[in-house]
Structure formats: C-alpha cells, structure tokens
Amino acid sequence: MPSLIDLTLEGRKVGQRRPWPRVVVDASVWTFAAAELAHGRWSLLGLWGEPATVHMAIMDGQTAEIAVVSLDCPNRSFPSVGRHHPPARRLERAINDLFGLSAEGSPDARPWLDHNRWGVRFPLGDRIDALPKAAPYRFLAAEGDGLHQIAVGPVHAGIIEPGHFRFTASGETVVRLEQRLGYVHKGIDGLMTGASLARGVQLAARTSGDSTVAYAYAFSRAAEAALDLVIPDRAVFLRALLAELERLANHLGDIGAICNDASFALMHAHCGVLRESVLRAAGAAFGHRLMRDVIVPGGVSRDIGADGVQAIRAALDNIRLRFPALVELYDNTASLQDRTVDTGTLKPPLARQYAAGGYVGRASGRTFDARRTLAYPPYDSLRFDVPVLDEGDVNARVWIRVREVEQSLSLIDQILSRLPQGPTRTEVPLGGEVRESMAIVEGFRGDVLVWLRLRNGLIERCHMRDPSWFQWPLLEAVIENNIVADFPLCNKSFNCSYSGHDL
Amino acid sequence: MRKLLFESVFRQPLTERAPLPDDAAVAELATALGQAARRRLGRSLSIREVDAGSCNGCELEIHALNNAYYDIERFGLRFVASPRHADVLMVTGPVTKNMREALERTYHATPNPKWVVAVGDCARNGGCFAGSYAVVGGVSAVIPVDLHIPGCPPAPTAMLQGLLALLERADAGAVTL
Ligand code: SF4
C-alpha cells in the first residue's frame, strides 16, 4: 500500500515547506489519490481552488502524515474527486462557483454557494456576467406514495443563522433531508486576496463568530509557519488558554441548548448562566467577551493581568461547583434521555468516511483531535484525554461535550499554573518572496484548516475550511428515519456553522 | 432526580455570588427600559431577530439577553418566532446578496408600526466585509433602519441601552448610538 510519502515523492515539490509538503501532481496521481480516499485509506481534509489550480489536503489516518496535492487546470476542469469520494462534492461545487473550474465526471454539478445574486459568476476566477435569470434550484427527488415536503428557512423561527432545509416526510418520518446553504456567503476568500496579515486575521476572526479564537489561531499559526516565525512562549500558552475558554463557553451553551430542544429548559437556564460566567471572565481578562482580535500573527495583542487570572479562576471554581449536578440531572432525567438516546445516530464508518471532526466524529468512534493527533504546542506538553464514544447518537454527542468541558477545565488550570513570563508578541517580518503554509487547529466544533500563501507580505491566497463542511452532509444522513420533531435535537447536537461554511 | 431538580430550582446560583460590578448598571438600565416599553407599547414589545449574513457573533450576544443575568423577558421584551408577531426587527450582518430578498420579505411580513434595529458593525455599513462582491453592505441599504447599535458584537448591555434609546426616541427619526 502506497503511503502518503510515496505519493509526495511522485509529484514535484513546491514552495510550501512547513509543516507539511505540497506537491504538484498530474491528473493520474490526482485520480489515484481520489481512489485511495474512496477506499478509506486516507481522509480528505480540504479541497479548494485558485484561478487555475486545485488543491487537496489529505491525511493518512494511520500515521497522521499530511500532504497537499495540487493539480493545474489549464482546461478549467479537473477530474472529480467527489465522483469517487462523496465528502468532496460540496467542496467541488463551491470551487466551480467561485473559480469556474469544473469537476469532470461529478455526479452533482448544481451550484452551491452561488444563488445567482452576486451580479457576477466565478468572482475569483475569470469573472463573467451573472445569468439573466436564476434557474430554480433542483432539489433531489424523493418519490413514493404519501410523501410530502416541508420547506424550512432560510429565515428560521429562532435566533439562528439562515439556511434552507427541505424535508421529505412520510407522515412523521423523515425520508430525506436536503440542505441548501450559501445564504451567508460573504466572499471572505475574495476579501483575503491582496489583504495584509493584519486585515487577514481580522477577517479570519469574523468567519464564524463562535470560533473566533480558533480561526485567528489557525490563521496566525499558518502565517507564522510560512514566515518561519517563532513566537514567545507566553503567547503560546495564552493562545491555548483562549482556545479552551472558547471551547468551554460553547460546550456549555450547546449542552443547555440541546436539552432545551427536548423541552428541558431548566438545563438551558443553568448552562446559560455558566456560559455567561465564562464570557464575563473572558471579558475581564482579555477585554472582549468572545475574545475577538486577541490572537494575531506574532503572538497575542493583549496580555493577561493578575485580576484577569483571578476572574478566570473564579469562573472555573463556580463551574466545578455547579456543573456536576447538572450532569447528574441530565443523566438521571428519563424524559430527557428518552429524546436523546438512539436519536440521530451517526454510524462510525460514515464518520470515518467524512473525516468528521470534533464531537460529531468523537461521538462516533473517530479519535482524531488536532490537539492530540497533530500535537501542536503547548498541547504537546499538557495532560488531557480525548474522550471517544461509539454510539453516535444525540446522547453521545452531549456526553463528549460534557467530558470535554471537564478536560478544558483541567487544561486551563495547567495553563494558568505554568504560564511562562516574558513578552507576548514578536515582530512579524515581511517575508519578501513567496511563502506558503498550512495550519490545523482544534476549534470547539472540530478542526479548522487554514492554507495561506503570501507574496511580499501580502496575502495572495487564503483558504479556510470549517469543520462543518464535513458535518453538514452527515446531519442529512442521521435524520433519516427519525421523526421531524427530532430534527431540532439532531441539528443542535451537530451545531454546524453556517457562516464558517458559507464563508 | 427529584431532589436534584428541586435543589437546582431553589438554590439560586446568582444570589450566592458577590454581585458583579456592572450588575447594578444592568438593573438600572433594565428598569428604565421596562418603563419606556410600557409607556410606549402597553405591556410588551416583541422582537424578531433576522440574521442577514452575520458571522453569528452578534447572535451569540443576542442569545445572552435571554440568559438569567439579563433575563430580557422581565421587562416585557421577548423574542418571537415569526415576523408577523413582531414590533421590532433586530437585523445583523452585512446583508449578503443571497439574503437580501429574505430580509425584504421578512420586513414586509412585519405589521406596522414597526422598528428596525441594526445590530453590530456589519449591519451598520458592512463592517469588515464592505466591498465584497457578495454583500450589500449595511441593513439601511435594503430596509429603513431606526437604530444602529455598534459593536463587534455589541455586548448585551449595549443592546439593552440601544432598545431603551429606541423606545425613548423612536419619533425622532433614525438614531445612532
Ligand atoms: S458585527 Fe462583528 S460580531 Fe456582528 S456579525 Fe459582524 S463581524 Fe460578526
């Protein structure tokens, strides 16, 4: 069996040196890689375009080796990966919408992000005029006696992001769910092009509001790797502190919100209070409740003072005091378990096929956690467990979050007690020639990937891949044969990002 | 389980802790807000939130208004599921071109009299997404706006302040905090 190393030896090594190689390959090697993905020997981490090139990030699950393979597309097309490996399909549709590079042989050539409203087609490629009239979007067919459709969105009933869900149901049972996304597409890849690193990190931090730390973290790590920049130890630890606070706040919010969708508002109220205590501590320590714009290339923009440390410790103590009782309440409430156990089950093989990140993957037997598998500092020197379950239902996704809350509490303790002294930021060199790199950071939702190429210190191309790209399609799969009323529970237990996905 | 349930109901976590410095300010603000709402609308004000392309950061803080610290419902202010039940549209995001029509339709589905509050820097003028091929840039480019609440995202207290300003000055035309 060829390893990723063999594959990279076949191609022509280019620019990117750290931390993983990138090679330019020909169409046959590209297709070979797609077949290996389809056989499950490798996982797809990302697939993105440039005006005349496509790139694919691949990981060998056995060895945690990662490589980027690139294919030039002089004819404005490339052999479809999605034809062999379904997780690539939406990514290919997005590449076509943005760059006009078509995936040859793809079973799904419908637009994805492009709703024909931009006034232009292929905005990042050879721009052409939009179609005079948008063709109606063809939802996939589901036929049979007594089936009916339920259309939901883009404006939902709650305070949530916009997207469209098309259910086909037989009575109460969902036969098929199809998502249509792209409503919050802001053209971030386009705005990144030509931007400075300072503006780039600002955009990265506004890609998905709940993962503002994770995005700034991944972006900054990519920029630093490209520039061979080593940042101060104190900044390394502060970044992990920020990331764990973000994880803690989001998991607490999610646990409550999932229970709320099972009409257990009591859990929601208590978890909401704990979440708020984390946000207030973060606000006291870093001047912003969501900790936005704190991580920047070169380090962090704000240091933490003694009162900040104290605010965080106080919030943690309070969570330690209150959280166990809430967990017990969850565990002992039959009416709640009745809704979450065996609901929306994601089978481990499917989680593996889609390389599902975060609690979605880890509740379905996938052990990947970028903090452990890729062991970037300071996590390589911190003690923590990566909780994994096999059940794959809503309940399992709740329990992974519960365990991760406990792990984050312990990680924050370790970080605060070992916080090195010294500067928190270092000068970012301009880096004259072309520099490129990639970084993967574990956000609360899963692995955030950022691939970056700089020229004369400016961003020539930046691609960010949210974990949701590989989680959204799985949500479609798990809802099948559940009742319509369980959709909110399934949806909340996934909590996919719209903005991060739509970009 | 029952014991636990009652314990959690009766043991109020918030009262056991020293009040946070801005709790007093929040309470004062909230009282003023409640009075203004009552004066203007009788008993209640219904808010429909519309995400027209935000990063979701603004939504997270709007959610926080519902938590036990801010508990916005005490003042008769509540979030409703349908624009047809709403007095106020709270709109976030730089209005993406893909959301423009949905926002317009939501606006038209909201009965008069109605107010539009644009929440966040994006909703004011597109924020850092201004100039993109994919965004319109600011809510007022699509529907008339009565109030802008700046911030990225604005903290819950800033939103309470904004709602108060809206109720007190709603007749004076568009307000900017
Ligand atoms: S104002 Fe800030 S928080 Fe709100 S949507 Fe825009 S980027 Fe996100």
- DSSP readout, A170-225? ETTEEEEEEEE--TT---HHHHHTT-BHHHHHHHHTTSSGGGHHHHHHHHHHHHHH
Is residue B58 lining ligand 1, measured as CB closer than 6 Å? Answer: yes
Contact A186 B102 (CB under 8 A): no
pLDDT tens for B136-162 read: 999 999 999 999 999 999 999 999 888
- Orientation angle between helical segments B156-169 and B23-41, nearest 10 degrees: 30
Confidence (pLDDT) at B9: 46
**What is the nearest CA distance from A187 to chain B, expressed in angstroms?**
5
Residue B5 pLDDT more than 80?
no
B94: which chain A residues are within 8 Å (Cβ-Cβ)? 186
Confidence (pLDDT) at B13: 46
Write out the two tokens for A42.
Answer: 């490798």
CA torsion angle A130 A133 A134 A138 (round to 10): -130
B18 part of contact set with chain A, CB < 8 Å: no
Instruction: Tell me the pTM.
Output: 0.93
* B90 SS3 class: strand
**What is the nearest CA distance from B135 to chain A, expressed in angstroms?**
6
Is residue B126 lining ligand 1, measured as CB closer than 6 Å? Answer: no
Which B positions 130-149 lie with beta carbon below 8 A of chain A?
131-135
Residue A109 CB coordination number (10 Å): 14
Beta bridge partners of A59: A43, A66
Let me know: does A428 contact A298? Beta carbons within 8 Å. yes
Residues 6+ apart with CB under 8 A from A23: A7, A8, A10, A11, A12, A13, A14, A67, A68, A69, A70
Instruction: List the single best residue of B67, B80, B122 to mutate versus A (max A Cβ within 10 A).
Output: B67
pLDDT tens for B66-92 read: 999 988 888 778 999 999 999 999 999
Which residue does chain A place closest to B85, by CA atoms? A157
Let me know: does A430 contact A411? Beta carbons within 8 Å. no
Helices (H) and strands (E) in chain B, counts: 6, 6
Residue A229 CB coordination number (10 Å): 18
B55: which chain A residues are within 8 Å (Cβ-Cβ)? 206-209, 212, 499
Residue B19 pLDDT more than 80?
no
Confidence (pLDDT) at B172: 47
Task: Say whether the ipTM exceeds 0.85.
Answer: yes
Beta bridge partners of A70: A24, A55
Instruction: List the single best residue of B9, B51, B69 to mutate versus A (max A Cβ within 10 A).
Output: B51
Reported in sequence order, the residue ranges of B15-173 that DSSP labels E, i.e. its strands, are 45-51, 77-79, 88-92, 115-119, 147-149
Write out the two tokens for B155.
Answer: 């903290």
Going A400 to A405 to A409 to A414, the CA torsion angle's sign is positive
A160 part of contact set with chain B, CB < 8 Å: yes
Confidence (pLDDT) at A43: 96
Taking the C-alpha atoms of residue B45 and residue B36, their distance in angstroms, rounded to an integer, is: 10
- DSSP 8-state assignment for residue B84: G
Residue A32 CB coordination number (10 Å): 16
Query: Ligand 1 pocket check: which of B152, B159, B177 to mutate, most ligand atoms within 8 Å of Cβ?
Result: B152
- DSSP 8-state assignment for residue B96: B
Taking the C-alpha atoms of residue A272 and residue A266, their distance in angstroms, rounded to an integer, is: 10
Q: Average pLDDT of each block of 10 consecutive residues along chain A (503 residues)?
A: 62 71 94 95 96 96 91 96 97 98 95 95 92 86 86 90 93 92 97 97 98 98 96 98 98 96 91 97 97 98 96 96 94 88 94 97 97 96 97 96 98 97 94 90 98 95 98 95 90 96 95
Contact A209 B56 (CB under 8 A): yes
Residue B38 pLDDT more than 70?
no
A255: which chain B residues are within 8 Å (Cβ-Cβ)? none
Contact B68 A184 (CB under 8 A): no
Confidence (pLDDT) at B163: 83
Least confident of A160-174, A249-263, B11-25, B99-113: B11-25
Taking the C-alpha atoms of residue A407 and residue A147, their distance in angstroms, rounded to an integer, is: 45
Reported in sequence order, the residue ranges of A80-119 that DSSP labels E, i.e. its strands, are 102-104
Is residue B61 lining ligand 1, measured as CB closer than 6 Å? Answer: no
Taking the C-alpha atoms of residue A324 and residue A281, their distance in angstroms, rounded to an integer, is: 20
What are the CA-CA distances from residue B165 to residues B122, B148, B174 (Å)? 20, 10, 11
B88-92 sheet: strands from edge to edge: B77-79, B45-51, B88-92, B115-119, B147-149, B175-176
Contact A120 B133 (CB under 8 A): yes
- Orientation angle between helical segments A306-332 and A233-261, nearest 10 degrees: 30
Taking the C-alpha atoms of residue A304 and residue A38, their distance in angstroms, rounded to an integer, is: 47
